[in-house]
Structure 1
């Protein structure tokens, strides 16, 4: 029988169970697929809402801030993800804006107060002079007061203008070579009469000349304010020692007195605008002198430090780049 067909065998099996199984799977798919899509949609909405909740919070907070409430802050999520970093950055930005607006309001209020006093005096003296006839000497006294207060207003306005330009970044420096020794010596000569009124000795211990590149007008204003401040708040018979030297590429100027000093609680505010140390409130200064000093130093890319002990004296240390 080799290589010959002698018959056929046909084997078959019923596919009914398989068909039934496929029908059941089809039914299950038809039933579960909509349910899966439904629950997947719900889960997606839940997760999306949860993920976008911080952004919604940012939007709501921004709307409240737009209405003028700068005290509002975003609740920062625990996770340190993109949303968390965005919330922190937003809060820092709002904090800075709030601080800027508060300082602006305080500055405006203080400026109004400072200007109101001399203007009131000028108005009162002028009205008093016009009410009835007076002696020539009385008119002279009234005019002297009016001139004095007018100069005070003019000086205050010039200080405010300088600070306003500095805030806007519009300070224009006229850079030239200046000799620090000549500048400080001229200021000492100018302030000598005021120092003698309190028997205060001004001492310049540095003999060498030190030339730097800076704005001469601003540098004169800088050291004039510091030295005048040291005289104003020094005791009778006090001493103000001034020295300067070159350190690396910087000019260091130290102005030290043995005056009334400043307490630690007041020391951190001495460069604030319109701030007056409580121990010296009897003085009629504008409270802008040291603020201007700091602005001038920073405009020249320098640094200023102050160290003071109550009852022992104050030391200013100014560092200015030799080549600006």
Structure 2
């Protein structure tokens, strides 16, 4: 069942239940109150009847005439009877009423009054003491008018309920369509999104409610899917590129080598070339295996000095890159030497630091690189700054993702693994890692180490 139909039915059902309960309460409250009013009127008439019949010998004639006039006005639709202590009708209507029996008369003599309702009449009886003796005065009134009023009220309530249900159904339908329209809008936008356009965001109506939260959740989901597809695409490109080049070189050299007989020196030279390409493939495989294995590695059991790692990396880089004399500048501005010692996996952290500093060298365009070891309260802080190509704002948010490379890397060799690998290592070792950069200005990497 669609949400719109469910909302309409629930609203209509809820209204009908509430209205029926309210109608029942109203009806029975009116019914009870009307009965109470009728019995109060009968009580007054009962008293007036007793005075009219039993006080004639004690009242002045003019006053008795006035009482008689009031009695006749109030008893137009009322039948009255006065019973003596022998249960005989001495005044009023002489017809025997089966609803007025000896038990009820005795009850009134004992409890002074009684009211009840039969199928068609209201009854009220009261005890009346007079100089002539003790009497019971009974009056009754037909309930036809009462039934007419209550039945009319019931019909009105039923008609109001039916018209109310129809009205609430129409209003609920309109409201459900209005409430459902943002969801329908979302569905239409989602249906238009394809695998090639996962980065497309759903337009938000900015309702600041659950719909807004749903849209934001969808957008975050599509963003993650888009990022995953980018990673997959970059992974395929990386693997195909990294494996294709050495494999092509191996197959090409072997094809050429197999065309004629070779000397032992040529065999040796050929073997060296093939081994070089095999080692390249092996290095790529090791990088991928390390990247995969680090995700579940949580060993943090060594204490070592970070400054020693930095100096080791500084000594290794000139063997790989042609650096100028003072291209890498290391500044240690720490007053507490204990902060240079940290707990973690020294091999992994060295790999991560190497990747960060190597990136600074590769993309510095030959400009100086500054590595600062600073003290921030009781924590070690390392800042690596270069003034090279930098990273664009669009690329910066994806730069830590595996196999992602910026659009302005040009012909500089890379795999898009270094920063992702470093990011995983830093997370495993509880090191806070941030990158700020500006295209064609430079990049700053900040590392904040946990206290020992």
TM-score band, normalised by shorter chain: 0.7 to 0.9
Note if contact 1:230-1:257 (Cα within 8 Å) is conserved in structure 2.
Answer: yes
Farther off after superposition, 42-51 or 52-61 = 52-61
Question: 1:187: Cα distance to partner?
Answer: 2.5
**Which residue number in structure 1 is paired with residue 269 of structure 2?**
141
Q: Match of 2:354?
A: 224
Match of 2:19 in 1: none
Is structure 2 residue 58 aligned with structure 1 residue 3? yes
Distance in 1 separating the partners of 2:360 and 2:217: 43
- Indicate how the Cα distance of structure 1 residues 254 and 112 shifts in structure 2: closer, same or farther if over 3 A, else same: same
Indicate yes or no: 2:431 matched with 1:317.
no
Superposition deviation, residue 250 in structure 1: 2.2
**1:234 Cα deviation after fit:** 5.2
Q: Which runs of 5+ in 2 are unaligned?
A: 1-55, 78-141
Q: Please list the CA deviations of residues 3-57 of structure 1 after superposition, one character each: whole Å capped at 9, or x if unmatched.
A: 2486644226689xx7998587676666555333333333344444544565677
TM-score normalised to structure 2 length: 0.55
User: Residue 186 of structure 1: which of 300, 309, 312 is its match?
Assistant: 312
Q: 1:46 to 1:221 in 2, by over 3 A?
A: same
Contact 2:333 2:375 in 1 (8 A): no
1:211 positional shift: 0.7
Displacement of 1:214 in angstroms is 1.9
| Contact 2:198–2:223 (Cα < 8 Å) also in 1 | no
Q: CA RMSD in A?
A: 4.4
1:35 and 2:90 are equivalent in the alignment: no
Alpha-carbon distance between aligned partners in 1 of 2:252 and 2:205, rounded to the nearest angstrom: 60
After superposition, the Cα gap between the structure-2 partners of 1:136 and 1:241, relative to the gap in structure 1 and judged at 3 Å, is farther
Q: 1:147 is paired with a residue of what secondary structure?
A: helix
- CA 1:222–1:118 in 2, change beyond 3 Å: closer, same or farther? same
Give the Å deviation of 1:295.
3.0
Query: Would the alpha carbon gap of residues 120 and 49 (structure 1) be closer, same or farther in structure 2, given more than 3 Å must change?
Result: same
CA distance 1:281–1:129, change in 2 (3 Å)? farther
Shift of the alpha carbon at 1:235?
5.8
Query: How does the TM-score come out when normalised to structure 1?
Result: 0.72
How many residues were matched structurally? 314
Match of 2:128 in 1: none
Aligned pairs for 1:29-178 within 5 A: 33-48=161-176, 50-51=178-179, 76=204, 79-81=207-209, 83-114=210-241, 115-165=243-293, 169-178=295-304
**Aligned-pair CA distance for 1:217:** 0.9
Matched residue, 1:213? 343
**Structure 2 counterpart SS, 1:321:** coil
CA deviations on 1:201-252 (whole Å, 9 max, x unpaired) are: 455443975211121011111222233334444566x655444233223212
**What does residue 429 of structure 2 align with?**
300
Deviation string, structure 1 residues 166-197 (Cα, Å, up to 9, x no partner): 5xx423333311112222222233334345x4
